[in-house]
């Protein structure tokens, strides 16, 4: 099977108290977008094989973890996974989590019998906080540490201009700054990203990108996740194209994408056995 594994934007992100398990409670409105990695999943006799072209991978590949957890739940079998990256890493766009969710969705179809939806969501939550949202995708609200996912209406009709600097944000460091007192709720309108102030404190070079995204005349703008990506949303498609060109001229070192919302976390493009 071949799939597109979509990225996400945290349209809003509220971070609350630290839990006993070390995670923070969050409440976030999330929209998946058509910036996507390409995932190929096939059956093999046994075990897991992963070919991922991501440069500078730190820690275990989440697609490998997803394949192993799925095979354990199925009671055996084997999966080969090929990941072709397009979603920038370390940018708050959820690429690794989306890839893992795509492997779960594909592997579940390739190796019968199908698991109940709840069982698949539980496996996803064990892999990472953002993984469950991609099994549903579209416009969703995530709560708890991110593992509780509910529909939040139809997918947005806006175009999203996404600006990705050459800065990789360490999520743990941003949360550490938040916990150390960078919350500063009074300095941000309700509903925006609670991690913006600590991200700017941890990575001062982000400030120029944050400033620029706010000068585009967008209907709304913000930072996704713990950074480093920023987005501007436009109801006018032509305005989004003009804004993207302005950003490319100003920041030739950065990546700029114009994205549409999706109504799912992944899309099967070839080889669905069902």
Catalytic residues: 8, 130
C-beta atoms surrounding 161 within 10 Å: 27
- HEC-encoded secondary structure of the chain: CEEEEEEEEEEEEEEEEECCCCCEEEEEEEEEEEEEEEEEEEEECCEEEEEECCCCCCCCCHHHHHHHHHHHHHCCCEEEEEEECCCCCCCCCCHHHHHHHHHHHHHHHHCCCCCCHHHHHHHHHHHCCCHHHHHHCCEEEEECCCCEEEECCCCCCCEEEEEECCCCCCHHHHHHHHHHHHCCHHHCCCCCECCHHHHHHHCHHHHHHHHHHCCCCCCEEEECCCCCCEEEEECCHHHHHHHHHHHHHHCCCCEEEEEEECCCCEEEEECCCC
Report residue 260: phi and psi, to 5°: -100, 155
User: Taking each helix axis from N to C terminus, what angle separates 95-110 and 62-74, rounded to the nearest 10 degrees?
Assistant: 30
Tell me, rounded to whole angstroms, the distance of Cα 27 from its chain centroid. Answer: 15
Distance (Å, rounded) from C-alpha 123 to C-alpha 104?
A: 9
């Amino acid at each position: 099977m071949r799939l597109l594994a979509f990225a996400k934007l945290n349209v809003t992100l509220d971070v609350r108290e630290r839990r006993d398990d070390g995670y923070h409670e969050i409440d976030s409105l999330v929209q998946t977008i058509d910036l996507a990695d390409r995932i190929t999943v096939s059956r093999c006799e046994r075990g897991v094989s992963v070919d991922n072209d991501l440069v500078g991978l730190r820690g275990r590949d989440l697609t490998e973890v997803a394949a192993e957890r799925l095979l354990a739940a199925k009671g055996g079998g084997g999966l080969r996974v090929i990941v072709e990256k397009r979603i920038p890493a370390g940018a708050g766009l959820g690429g690794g989590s989306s890839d893992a969710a795509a492997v779960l969705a594909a592997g579940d179809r390739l190796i019968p019998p199908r698991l109940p939806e709840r069982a698949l969501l539980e496996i996803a939550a064990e892999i990472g906080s953002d993984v469950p949202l991609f099994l549903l995708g579209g416009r969703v609200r995530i709560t708890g540490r991110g593992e509780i996912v509910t529909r939040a209406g139809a997918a947005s009709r806006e175009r999203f201009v996404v600006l990705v600097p050459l800065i990789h944000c360490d999520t743990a460091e941003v949360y550490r700054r938040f916990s150390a007192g960078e919350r500063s709720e009074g300095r941000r309108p309700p509903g925006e990203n609670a991690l913006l102030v600590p991200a700017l404190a941890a990575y001062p070079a982000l400030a120029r990108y944050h400033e620029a995204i706010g000068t585009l005349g967008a209907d709304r703008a913000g930072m996704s996740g713990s950074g480093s990506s920023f987005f501007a949303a436009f109801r006018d498609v032509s305005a989004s194209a003009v804004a993207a060109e302005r950003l490319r001229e100003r920041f030739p070192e950065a990546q700029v994408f114009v994205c549409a919302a999706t109504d799912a976390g992944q899309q099967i493009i070839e080889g669905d056995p069902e």
